[in-house]
Amino acid sequence: MEEKALACPVCQSNKAEIAGENVKLSGKFEDKEFLTTDLTVLRCVKCGYYMFFDKQAKFTTKDE
């Protein structure tokens, strides 16, 4: 999987805080129910946008 720097799709900020780990989303679509795999939820510090990542995503911290 290609590694990319974290960037909020709304404001392009690279700063986020963890809002949740091992989160599963469920829902229903056309009479079929679904449940996602475990997700990590990050919240952009600048604009508040929530981003969802699966276990394949890798995160690093960098102070600039």
Identify the pLDDT of residue 11: 95
User: What is the SS3 assignment for 27?
Assistant: strand
**pTM of structure:** 0.74
Q: Return d(Cα 61, Cα 23) in angstroms, integer.
A: 21
Pairing state between β 32-35 and 26-29: antiparallel
Residue 56, both tokens: 């394949």
Share of the chain above pLDDT 70, in %: 84
Angle at 50 between CA 47 and CA 55, to 5 degrees: 140
Question: Where do the structural domains in the chain lie, given as residue ranges?
Answer: 1-55
Q: How confident is the model at residue 50 (pLDDT cuts 50, 70, 90)?
A: very high
pLDDT per residue as tens digits for the range 2-17: 567 788 999 999 999 9
